[in-house]
Every structure is written in C-alpha cells, then in structure tokens.
Amino acid sequence: MRNYIIKRILLIIPTLVAVSLVVFVLSKYVPNDQVVALLNLKGIHTDLDEAKDEEYAKAYLELGLDKPNFYLSLSPNYYPRNLNSLAYGDAKELFRDLLKRSYDTQDIKAVITQLRENKTPISTFNFELKRNESQAISHLLGKKLKKHKYYYPKFSWYGLDNQYHHWIKSFFTSGFGISITDGKQSFSKVFNALKWTLSITIVDLMLSIFLAIFIGKTMIKFEHKKWSKYLNQVLYFIYAIPIFWFATIMVVYFTTDDYGSWTNIFPSVGINVFPGKSITEQIALNWTKLILPILCLTFHSLAYSTRFLKRSISDELNKDYVAMAFAKGLTRNEVIDRHVFRNALIAFITVFVGATVAAFSGSLVIEVIFNIPGIGRLLFNSISSGDWNVIFCIVMVLALITTVVYLLGDILYAFFNPKLRFNI
C-alpha cells in the first residue's frame, strides 16, 4: 500500500508543474501593469506619458521583472540576451515591437531616447509607425534604419535566477507576491480566506456523505415502499434547483420575520467582526451565521450523492455473487450490509471526489450571497479589482487541493479494491 501511495504522489507532480507553467504564462498577459500597481499602492501616481522613469525602474527591479522569464530561451541572434533587463516604462511595448520588426537594439534605444528628448508621446509615434514605418523613423532620427535581413536562432541558458523559479519558490516562502489592494502577502490573504471556506465545505462533505449513505441504504432496503418512491422524486427536485436560486430563496424567506415570526429561523447574512480575534476564533464566534450556508451546500450535494449510491447498490444486487449469498440463506438486508455495500462504495468514491471539488466551486456562489470572507468571495473581489497576484495564488491553491483530493480518491479506491494496487 505504501508503494502504491508513493507512485500516485509521483504521478501528480507533473500535473502541478504543468498547472504552474500555465498560470505563470497567463500572469505575463494580464491587462494590468504590475509596476504601475505597485507604484499606486505606494502612493506614487505615475503618469507614464510624462515618463517618471526613475520610480518605474526602481519598482521594476523591486518586483524582479528584470530577470529572464524562464530557465532558457530561444530567440533571434540580434535580440539582447535578456530582454527583461531593459526597463523602458511606457516604451517597453514599443521596444519589443521594433525588435519584432528586425531593428537593431542600439538603433531602437536611439529611437526611444529621441522620443523622450522631443517629449513625443509614445501613442503618437505608435500611430505614425503603423501608418508608415520608415517615414516615422526617418522623420524622428533624420535617417532610415537598416533591418536585419538574415538571422539565426540563439539559445540562452539562465539557470535558477529567473522569474518562474522565483515565482514558484515564492509560493512556499515569500507569500506569492503582494496584493495591490492592501499590500499584504497574497498567500496570507488566501490562507485566511481558505479557513472560512474549509469551515463550510468540510462540514458540508461530512453531512452529505453520511446522510447519503444512511438515506441511500434505507431507500434500497425499502424500495417497494411508497415513501421511498416519493423521497426519490424529492431528491430529483432538490438536485434540479440551482444552488444560487435555492440560497437566495432561503435568505429572503427564512432570515426575516417579514413573512411571519415562524420564518425568522436563521441569522441574517454577513459575518460579525470581532477585533483582536484570530480567524479561527472569528469562525467559532460566527458559527450560527454558517448554519444556513452549510445547509444550502449540503442539500444540493446530498441529492446527487444519495441517488448515485442507491443506483450503485442496485447495480451490485444484480451481480452473480449476490445470488450466491442469497443461496446461503442470507436475508436481503444482510446481503446489502455484508457484501453489496462495500462494493458499491468503490463507485461512490467517484462521487466523493467530485463532490469535494464541486464544494469549492459552490462556495464561490454561497460566500458571495451570504457575504462570507472565504476563498470564493476573495476571488470575486480580486477579479473585480484586478488583483492578479491574489487571483493566481487562488488558482494554484485550488489546483493543489484538487490534486490532493484526487490522490485521496485513488488511495480509497486501492483500500476498497486491493486489486488496483497491482495494476500500476
């Protein structure tokens, strides 16, 4: 069993690496300039068209953007070895655009220098460049610039001192960058929000799984009873209700006495803040506020889990080994408890894994509706404010949680079906 677990752990490492690479590439194409965001956070409202380059260059170095993107690169031979080492502020995109047009690095620097001396806006020069490239440059410098007609690919190796390496390392050491909204470490904010989310999802999973096992077994044991058939239809109805609509209805009708004193069952939405208390203490002091969100998540996942387990048990009852168990004189309930239920759980593990991952997705809606400061609410607010460091940190944390959950599912498969341990 130990060797099986080790092999499964080794198999998920490439998945996490692939996810980190995708997230890192996406981080390079976000619409916000990280340097400008950092300057604004420090109270330096830099208008880049007026070229306050000293502050920009200082922040550029502070963020480590002068380092190469990756461990290696393949570029045309006339490109500088490390393109990121050139911090040109507002002219950064112009520099790269002229490089792609095959101009030499020194000539491009001359263009940018002349633009700044003439105080020509970059946007104006870009417009002229797109309209007539050679005329725009000759008008600026008084001469035409030559292009590289022939070039060959150049391979560069940068070692560990690159942005990706420091970026992924910061996930475990320096907090994955800072938030542009309050200057706090991104990982610290995500970790605190994750505590709220886990306080909901763990209770939701425990309730839904145990209730699904109890109700599913009971329904299959009394499947010919009328109440069992009615309960089956009720579960269909609950699962068909969108979770956001169900949560909204519960808030509107069962957190107020506007519709009668008997409807004021649950506390109103929102979390009470207790200054000086830790996140764990805050959760404990707000436990009554979490009852309704947990019930909303549980009802939704319980309906599907119960029906799936009932179907799994029903399928197992049609197999040959069940007929042999009946031939030994066992009753239907004894067959289900001793033989069928354990085998049905193998298929039910799939539901457990899916429900665990879906619980985090459902928490996004629930946390926004109930104003709970969990990871879903943090993601919503970060997207609204363009806080990309926090967004990508959340993506990495959720990717890690998802892979760990699937690893746990594989371990449970092997526990209930030992044959799987020898198939890898």
- Two structure tokens written together for 229: 């058939």
Q: Give 162-207 pLDDT, tens digit per residue.
A: 999 988 888 777 678 888 888 888 888 998 899 899 888 888 888 8
Phi, psi of 154 (to 5 degrees): -120, 125
Range 290-304 average pLDDT: 85
pLDDT tens profile 80-92: 888 888 766 667 7
DSSP H or E stretch at residue 110: helix 105-118
Closest CA to 218 of 335, 94, 306: 306
Backbone phi, psi, residue 103, to 5°: -80, 155
Between 163-170 and 2-27, two packed helices, what is the crossing angle to 10 degrees?
120
- pLDDT digits 0-9 by tens, 205-215: 888 888 888 88
Contacts of 212 (CB under 8 A, 6+ apart): 302, 305, 306, 308, 309, 351
The residue type at 288:
T
pLDDT recorded at residue 4: 64
Residue 3 neighbours by CB under 8 Å, 6+ apart: none
Residue listed under structure tokens 């440059």? 137
- Give dist(CA 399, CA 102) in Å, integer: 40
Beta strands in 306-398 (DSSP E): none
| pLDDT value of position 162 | 92
Burial (CB count <10 Å: 0-12, 13-18, 19+), residue 17: exposed
Q: What is the pLDDT of residue 87?
A: 62
Give the helix/strand (H/E) hosting 155: strand 153-157
Tell me the C-alpha distance between 397 and 406, whole Å: 14
pLDDT band at 1 (very low <50, low <70, confident <90, very high): low
Q: What whole-number distance in Å separates Cα of residue 271 and Cα of residue 409?
A: 34
The ranges of the chain annotated as CATH 1.10.3720.10 are 186-422
- 154: tokens are 């150049």
CATH code, residues 186-422: 1.10.3720.10
pLDDT score of 50: 46
pLDDT of residue 90: 67
In the predicted model, what is the mean pLDDT of the chain? Answer: 83
Tokens representing residue 93 in the block: 């995109």
- Please determine, for residue 46, whether its predicted confidence score (pLDDT) is greater than 60: no
